[in-house]
Amino acid sequence: MDTLLKPTLYTPDGALLGGRCPCGHVFFPMQGHGCEVCGRHGADLKPMTLAGRGKLLSSTVVHLHADKARTAPFTVGKIALADGPVVRTLLVDTVQQIAPGTEMATALVPVGIGDDGTTILDLRFRPER
Amino acid sequence: MARTLKDLRPVYVVGVGWHRYQNPSDTPYVTLGVTAIREALADARIAWPSVESAYVATALLGMASGRPMLRHLGATGIPLSHVENASASGSTAFRQACIEVAGGLVDVSLAVGVDKRNPVRRDNTGMDNLAEDAIAQFTHFSLLTNEYAYRHKVSFEDIARVAVKNHRNGARNRNAQRQQERSLDEVLGGKKVAGSLTALQCTPVGEGAAAAIVASEDGIKQLGIDPNRAIRVIGSTARSERVYAAGLGFDAVLTKETTAVALQEAQVSPQDLDIIELHDAFTVEELHYIENIGLCPEGQGVHLLKEGALDIGGRCAVNPSGGLIAMGHPIGPTGIGQIGEITLQLRGEAGTRQHPNARTGLAHMVGVGAVCYVHLLQRP
């Protein structure tokens, strides 16, 4: 049995936990503070599971990073999800350059072992197979 | 009906001053701040008791840092406000001082920015995120650099030329943090931070101070200030980020929106601009912003850069101070320092950095949030 590092943000099968406003705006992550487009809030905003797929807008290899919890080098990408929102997060490490426009998909990768001995998984993106 | 700054009383920059931007040191912020203010007072040739209100811009000093500094000029009891607006803190303080004078509440006001390189603290919003901790500012701008290079088929070497120009300008500025010319090889050969970005293509955040004193025509007359050295603020516009289509860079789009309003209100066209001081914390930003200010179509900025059109003495001097890359970016002072540089340029007092016949200047700042501030200055 594996554990998700951030279970409020994604599901075990790599879908993203976003939301939708009656005005049509789709956002990530789910929140009830209020819609960035129209200001509706609370129960007006409904959870919406977003497909873990999108197009790469840009990526970059980070050579230096102050936070010791993240060891450089690592690769960061900006992905326009098929459902609308743009997310920025880590890519599964790769040596090859990924061209903007490449179809990307989520992947859950092991990032550590929990106190109970389970594997902790975190979400990344990688080129869709 | 809402009015613009130009509809109110004319407001002028009458005094500017700095404490040099520098690497973090033991110098207390009080020393940094009062040095800049005293230089601005001397520049205006007025005394501190003539100043009727003060706006202190600082992002990293913590609560209520202004009075412990200003009291050493003589505690005159004037109203004092602190302004925090990320990188645009100084620009925001300047705008507030201009509005207070233009609105007729006071005749002379001070905007001063001062900061030390303390840790940035931002409270959490109650929302989690995937990996924002992995995305430093330079990583954000490295993503934009890669997008720009790919979309416009521009080389990373050409983007890095922004840093060569701005170091050349900074080398002639006694208030710049980096005062050394750098070749393209030196810029490209430095420590890599993310993607193609090297250390010399990134602003060195340090410490320092900048001050600007603004006055009305009544104030200028009463205090005997030389009207020929007074530079009019003909426009002040501020906006914040909206929701943009996926793939649009919010920094660039917000710059375009804000500048368009500022230029329209002041009835100035991009071709009228002799001087631009803009937020070049990272090289690619200068290209984004000159294009969105309207100097050239999108993707064409490198051509202007390579033909020298953005140099001092070119079509429009962009970041003659050295910009954030060479002058530095101590946060609170930065936007006010831009106003100071434009004031020197429009007076013809910029020395070896002087751009010939400069009449109209634009100051541009973006701040994390995001916010954008644009000021337009013109000599009489």
pLDDT digits (tens, 9 = 90+) for A16-50: 999 999 999 999 999 999 999 999 999 999 999 99
Tokens of B266: 């002041």
Contact of B60 with B115, CB cutoff 8 Å: yes
Whether A33 and chain B come into contact, CB under 8 Å, resolves to yes
Lowest mean pLDDT among B13-17, B121-125, B337-341: B121-125
pLDDT score of A77 more than 70 = yes
pLDDT by residue (tens digit) across B53-105?
A: 999 999 999 999 999 999 999 999 999 999 999 999 999 999 999 999 999 99
**Best CA proximity match to A14, nearest among A128, A107, A86:** A107
3-state secondary structure of B281: coil
* Distances in whole angstroms, Cα of residue B140 to Cα of each of A61, A76, B84, B162, B313: 11, 9, 22, 18, 32
As a residue count, chain B comes to 380
Helix (H) or strand (E) run with residue B352 in it? none
Neighbouring-strand partners of residue A18: A48
Residues 6+ apart with CB under 8 A from A48: A18, A19, A20, A26, A30, A83
- Say whether B135-191+232-378 and B5-119+205-231 share the same fold: yes
Q: How far is A115 from chain B (nearest CA, A)?
A: 22
Report the residue of A56, A58, A104, A124 to disrupt the B interface, i.e. the one with the largest count of B CBs within 10 Å. Answer: A58
User: Cβ contacts (< 8 Å) between B195 and chain A: which residues?
Assistant: 60-62
Instruction: Name the closest residue on chain A to residue B150, using Cα atoms.
Output: A100
- Give me the architecture of the B5-119+205-231 domain, per CATH: 3-Layer(aba) Sandwich (3.40)
CB-closest option in A25, A31, A76 to B127: A31
pLDDT by residue (tens digit) across B258-275?
A: 999 999 999 999 999 999
pLDDT of residue A68: 82
Q: Look at B131 and A65 and tell me if their CB atoms are within 8 Å.
A: no
Lowest mean pLDDT among A91-100, B3-12, B310-319, B324-333: A91-100
| 141-180 in chain B: CB under 8 A from chain A | 142-147, 150-151
* Interatomic CA distance for residues B206 and B25, integer angstroms: 9
**What mean pLDDT is predicted for residues B319-334?**
98
Domain assignments of chain A as residue spans, ordered by start:
3-127
Tokens of A123: 């979400």
**What mean pLDDT is predicted for residues A1-14?**
95
Q: Is the C-alpha dihedral spanning A38, A39, A41, A47 positive or negative?
A: positive
* Interatomic CA distance for residues B370 and B88, integer angstroms: 10
* Interatomic CA distance for residues A92 and A94, integer angstroms: 6
CB-closest option in A36, A89, A100 to B147: A100
**What mean pLDDT is predicted for residues B101-118?**
98
| 190-219 in chain B: CB under 8 A from chain A | 191-195
Q: Look at A58 and B131 and tell me if their CB atoms are within 8 Å.
A: no
Contact of B343 with B58, CB cutoff 8 Å: no
Q: Is B21 exposed, middle or buried (0-12, 13-18, 19+ CB in 10 A)?
A: buried
Contact of B224 with B122, CB cutoff 8 Å: no
Domain assignments of chain B as residue spans, ordered by start:
5-119+205-231, 135-191+232-378
Report the residue of B120, B123, B125, B130 to disrupt the A interface, i.e. the one with the largest count of A CBs within 10 Å. Answer: B130
pLDDT by residue (tens digit) across B34-45?
A: 999 999 999 999
**Which segments within chain B are labelled E, that is strand?**
11-22, 53-57, 80-83, 108-115, 192-194, 197-198, 207-216, 231-240, 275-277, 317-318, 360-367, 371-378
User: Cβ contacts (< 8 Å) between B150 and chain A: which residues?
Assistant: 58, 99-100
pLDDT of residue B247: 81
pLDDT score of A83 more than 70 = yes
pLDDT score of A8 more than 80 = yes
* Interatomic CA distance for residues B362 and B373, integer angstroms: 10
CATH code of the domain made up of B135-191+232-378: 3.40.47.10
Over pLDDT 70: what percentage of chain B?
100
- How many CB atoms within 10 Å of residue A128? 15
Q: How far is A118 from chain B (nearest CA, A)?
A: 21
Whether A80 and chain B come into contact, CB under 8 Å, resolves to yes
Q: How far is A129 from chain B (nearest CA, A)?
A: 22
Q: Look at B130 and A74 and tell me if their CB atoms are within 8 Å.
A: no
pLDDT of residue B293: 98
> Mean pLDDT of all residues in chain B?
97
Query: Could you tell me how far CA B88 lies from the centroid of its own chain?
Result: 7
Helix (H) or strand (E) run with residue B149 in it? helix B137-152
* Distances in whole angstroms, Cα of residue B114 to Cα of each of B89, B93, B168, B331: 10, 11, 25, 8
* Interatomic CA distance for residues B215 and B49, integer angstroms: 14
Tokens of B330: 């101590």
Band of the pLDDT at A95, cuts 50, 70, 90?
low
pTM over 0.80: yes
Whether B139 and chain A come into contact, CB under 8 Å, resolves to yes
Residues 6+ apart with CB under 8 A from B294: B259, B260, B263, B269, B270
Whether B243 and chain A come into contact, CB under 8 Å, resolves to yes
* Distances in whole angstroms, Cα of residue A129 to Cα of each of A14, A55, A83, A105: 15, 13, 19, 8
pLDDT by residue (tens digit) across B208-256?
A: 999 999 999 999 999 999 999 999 999 999 999 999 988 888 999 999 9
* Interatomic CA distance for residues A37 and A19, integer angstroms: 13
Q: Look at A70 and B194 and tell me if their CB atoms are within 8 Å.
A: no
Q: Look at A89 and B131 and tell me if their CB atoms are within 8 Å.
A: yes
User: Cβ contacts (< 8 Å) between A33 and chain B: which residues?
Assistant: 125-127
CB-closest option in A57, A90, A99 to B131: A90
Tokens of B373: 């501030």
pLDDT score of B166 more than 80 = yes
Contact of A123 with A79, CB cutoff 8 Å: no
Q: Is B366 exposed, middle or buried (0-12, 13-18, 19+ CB in 10 A)?
A: buried
The b/e string for B307-323 (b: 16+ C-beta within 10 A; e otherwise) is: eebbbbeebbbbbbbbb
Q: How far is B63 from chain A (nearest CA, A)?
A: 26
Whether A4 and chain B come into contact, CB under 8 Å, resolves to no
Tokens of B240: 């914040």
